[in-house]
Amino acid sequence: MSFDSSVTPRMTRRRFAALAAACAAAPSDFSAQKPAGRLRRADSFFGLHFDLHPNEEDTVLGRDVSEELVERILAAAKPDYVQYDSKGHPGWLGWPASKAGPSAPGIVKDSLEIWRKVTAARSVALYIHFSGVWDTEACKRHPEWARVASDGKRDKNQTSTFGPYVDELMIRELREAASKYDLDGAWVDGECWATSPDYAPAVAEAFRKATAIDQLPQGPKDAGWLRFLEFNREQFRTYVRHYVEALHQSHPKFQIASNWLYSTFVPEEPTLPVDFLSGDYLGNASISTARLEARYLAQTGRPWDLMAWGFQQAESNKIGMVHKPAVQLQQEASVVLAQGGGFQVYYVPSRAGWFETSHIEVMRRVGEFCRERQHASHKSETVPQIGVVFSKESLYSTTNKLFGGWGSATDSARGWIDVLSALQHSVDVVPDWKLEKVKRHYPFLVLPEWAGVGDAMKTSLLDYVSAGGVLLVSGAANAALFGAAAGVRLLGRDAVAQEAYVGGAEVLGNLHGLWRDLEPGEATLLESRFGEYDTRSGGKPAAVSRKLGKGEIVLLPGPAGIVYAQTHTPAVRDFVKRLVAPRFRALVQVDGPASVEVVLRRKHGKLMVHLLNSAGMQVAGDYATTDFVPEVGPVRLRLAWAPAKVQMNPGGQVLAAIPKPLQGKDFWEVQVPKLQIHSVVMVEPAAAPML
């Protein structure tokens, strides 16, 4: 993104003054020391996760676990916590002689006992990986505990959240482990994403009493389908609340997360008494996944972390695990750190519990990378710039699932985050449940191509525009919802899949997909699209705009976010830039290639400008790992005020802010000589803005 001096800044003196005051009020002590004793999860930053999913065929569990091995791992990586396996999806417990549930038959040595002894001596917290809803052995031994599928058959893996499993087995197992090993908590896996609608007779009866609907609906064409999905969601909430409160009652210091709860998988306002939020992200282009998930979790107001897999699972070609070099994990970590969260890495030891020295060395390098950035990143707060709206309403009403992962249904949001990041804009996710509280803090909002955001969202966003905000509405369904406000006349009754090409800096950008045809009417035509490789005539509107109250609405009636998520083409990025640049000026303008991501946060009384380099990121299974991130630079930052001090993290290098008059105004330019993976430019704002 090159500097654009033609745009009138939208940051008012009042907004800048509010930012300066907020920064000044933040704690400024960089020298806080780690307190004695094990950290609570809310204060933890870096962790390690190891799970094995014990099964009935194991014969050597724990054989190679020793105090020396654990000491070596902890001394190298210096984690705040470790999560070690206790029960995976097969349902066998990883500790011996359990009185609560089935211990795996192949336990040679008690791994948890050794891990607890050494972690306790080093004041490192110990959590267990524990599978909740997904318990294959419980379903095998007690079929009556299993979920009933729509065909009337008992599930072989999923237990029923309506049934006695949680009391008869799950809570008992957790309590036994908590007491036996003085555990700090549990990371409960196989939860929301492993939960499906339950068709058990008792569920049918309860649903009939609640709704007067006699037959359980099988799909979206049946009466009461959405009510049935929500009925199952509410039972999942009841199930989680029940086991969390039960453990808190018997073990008050025991801390619990339900994997992916209150992430994009369950995009609800947090109300359940879990102690922290967490999720494990994986797969190709996991940096893109982490961008979305980290930004969502950062908005929840709860302690949170994300877990990167230390390997790729190359299942498509039957190869199995392909381990990631340290620089790849550092690159993935930077996306999480920049949003203020904690970070952890997941490794699978050998079945006997052994860790290769080379893997421990990678843990060490990743841990050091994170620690070098902790004081500038952990628990930071956002500086609102551009917000991308995330719609629970749309996902719950159109996907026919209880919870995520949603697959391509969230591509629109991911695509908009990626394209705005590539344009060096600091972008947040704004959940729909939080929109009303925070919308006026954002000078620019984007509504991605959600299928059904609802009238409440429409009312809230139009109110935002009338009050002075700029709203970019994308997608065919949203064009129908916002068309009248945008002053356009819709053509035809429905959206139609169409070829669509828009102009790019070098070549045409392909935006094939669902488009809603329209005539601009009272709106101003901004961009046209063409149905073939011929832009001489016959274009249709690709984007229009209209002033509304004190603000402006931009309507893009096609699949820009979805297509960018699937292609990441520069021409589509160019198209988006032409829509955003005239209507938004960043607080900090950055000149760098598309691989440079900018995140604005505040902490320690300073404005933290995170610069992330995604060059060379892993994107495809055929190239499962990467061990080289090409550095970029110099990267130039332009500030509209004279900073008191500019300093780099890590390293502490002080950078000069050079005044450069431009069009009758003074700007201050800061140059970062080179950017490797992740650097933070720490800016102390002046007392008054030069705006």
pLDDT (tens digit per residue) in 463-499: 999 999 999 999 999 999 999 999 999 999 999 999 9
281 membership: H or E segment, kind and range: strand 277-281
Average pLDDT over residues 384-397: 98
- The whole-model pTM stands at 0.94
Eight-state DSSP code of residue 515: E
pLDDT band at 534 (very low <50, low <70, confident <90, very high): very high
pLDDT for the residue 319:
87
Q: 665 in the Ramachandran plot: left (φ > 0), alpha (ψ -120 to 50) or beta?
A: beta
% the chain with pLDDT above 90: 91
- Is it the case that residue 46 has pLDDT exceeding 70? yes
Q: What is the mean pLDDT of residues 602-622?
A: 95
What is the average per-residue pLDDT within 231-259?
98
Residue 35 pLDDT class (50, 70, 90 cuts): very low
- In this predicted structure, the answer to whether residue 402 has a pLDDT above a threshold of 70 is yes
* Per-residue model confidence (pLDDT) at position 98: 98
Nearest to 685 by CA among 672, 671, 673, 668: 668
**What is residue 26's predicted lDDT score, i.e. its pLDDT?**
43
Please give the pLDDT value at position 317. Answer: 64
The per-residue pLDDT for 528 is 98
The better pLDDT of the pair 685, 48 is held by: 48
Mean predicted lDDT score pLDDT of the chain: 93
Q: Work out the percent of the chain whose per-residue pLDDT is above 70.
A: 93
Instruction: Grade residue 10 by pLDDT with cuts at 50, 70 and 90.
Output: very low
Select from 3.40.50.1110, 3.10.105.10, 3.40.50.2300, 2.60.40.1180 the CATH code of 23-27+588-684. 2.60.40.1180
Instruction: Name the residue type at position 337.
Output: L
**Taking the domain 44-379, which CATH number applies?**
3.20.20.80
What is the residue extent of each domain of the chain? 23-27+588-684, 44-379, 384-583
Residues 126 and 184: beta-carbon distance below 8 Å = yes
| Residues 89-140 pLDDT 10s | 999 999 999 999 999 999 999 999 999 999 999 999 999 999 999 999 999 9
Q: What is the pLDDT of residue 18?
A: 52
pLDDT at 660: 87
Confidence of residue 685 (pLDDT cuts 50, 70, 90): confident
In this predicted model, what pLDDT tens digit does every residue of 607-616 receive, in sequence order? 999 999 999 9
What three-state secondary structure class fits 38? coil
pLDDT digits (tens, 9 = 90+) for 140-187: 999 999 999 999 999 999 999 999 999 999 999 999 999 999 999 999
Q: Quick one: average pLDDT of 532-559?
A: 97
Q: Report, as an integer, the average pLDDT of 404-422.
A: 97
DSSP letters for 337-401: HTTT-EEEEEE---TT----HHHHHHHHHHHHHHHHHHHHHTT-EE---EEEEE-HHHHHHHS--
Mean pLDDT value across residues 208-227: 96
CATH 3.30.1360.120 fits 384-583, yes or no: no
The reply to whether omega before 634 is within 30° of 0 (cis) is yes
The residue type at 452: G
Residue, of 163 and 1, whose pLDDT is higher: 163
